[in-house]
Each structure stands twice: as structure tokens, then as C-alpha cells.
Amino acid sequence: MKHILIFFTGLGCLSAAHGQSLRSINSGAVSANNLIYTVGEIFVVPSNQNEASSGLVGAISRIEFLSLGIADITPIPQLRFYPNPTAASVFVEVDKETINQFYIYDVSGKLIDSLKNTNNQIDLSGLQPGTYFIKTDNQHLESFKIIKR
């Protein structure tokens, strides 16, 4: 019994040394240009087409590339404001949009004042010196920062 066990152990080492274990994992398939492999399958590209147990060993893996980013950028109407910093008033110019109301916020986000648009001019003379954010009632326009001297 001991001799039989040694024989099978020796036979297993011999077949592993000659690459037979690779063929059993690969189900005996030899790579050719017209074979289709599945993800996770191990294959052998033989250096000699007559010997499936020699050559390059590879594995099929799946790589998926996703495009991460933002949606297409839609043009934002151009908003210009000047002077900045200012001591009294700010003039606002906007392309193809209308503004009915201005909202003035301090740096903590507290609403300080709400002003109707008169000739695209914002009077800040009644405010203390500091940094303010001005938002409009038009959802297409972004808020902007003004420094009051």
C-alpha cells in the first residue's frame, strides 16, 4: 500500500512539473485566434502548437471603463458687475436675461436686504463694510460676491 501511495504522489508531481495541471484547469483548451474565453478562465498560449503544456499562461479578466463627469454644460448667461470693491453702488449688466429682484446676504448666509431692480443698480450705501453675496430672482444667473468698503 505504501508503494502505491508513493507511486501516485510521484505521478502527481511529475504531471504538475510538465504543466498538466494547467491543462486540467483550462479543460485542455489550447489558445487559438478563433476561441472564445469567459471571464476568469485560465488559458495557455503554447510556444509550440503541438505541446499544450508549454508556453504562456494567461487569465481573462473584464475591465470596464465608465465616463464619470458632469452633464453637458449649458451656456450660462453672462453676468457682469462693477465696481468691486465698492463704497456705494454696484452696477449689474446681464445678457438676454431679466432681473426683477436682488437679495443681499452676509457671509453667514443671513438675508440682509431684498431690493427691487432699478436701472440694474444696487445701492449698498446703507450697509456696513464687509463681504456680501448678491443673488437674483432669475434662476439662470449665479450669485456673486461684492466687497463693501
Q: How many residues does the chain have?
A: 149
Question: Residue 145 — φ and ψ, nearest 5°?
Answer: -105, 135
CA–CA gap between residue 95 and residue 7 (Å, rounded): 90
- Helix (H/G/I), strand (E/B), else coil: 73: coil
CA–CA gap between residue 98 and residue 125 (Å, rounded): 24
**pTM of the full predicted structure?**
0.50
pLDDT at residue number 15: 42
* Highest mean pLDDT pick, 75-79, 95-99, 124-128, 140-144: 124-128
pLDDT at residue 3 greater than cutoff 70? no
Kindly report, residue by residue over 117-146, the tens digit of the pLDDT.
Answer: 989 999 999 999 999 999 999 988 889 999
Query: Residues 93-104: what's their mean pLDDT?
Result: 92
- Helix (H/G/I), strand (E/B), else coil: 36: coil
Of the pLDDT bands very low, low, confident and very high (cuts 50, 70, 90), residue 4 is: very low
**128 sits in which H/E element:** none
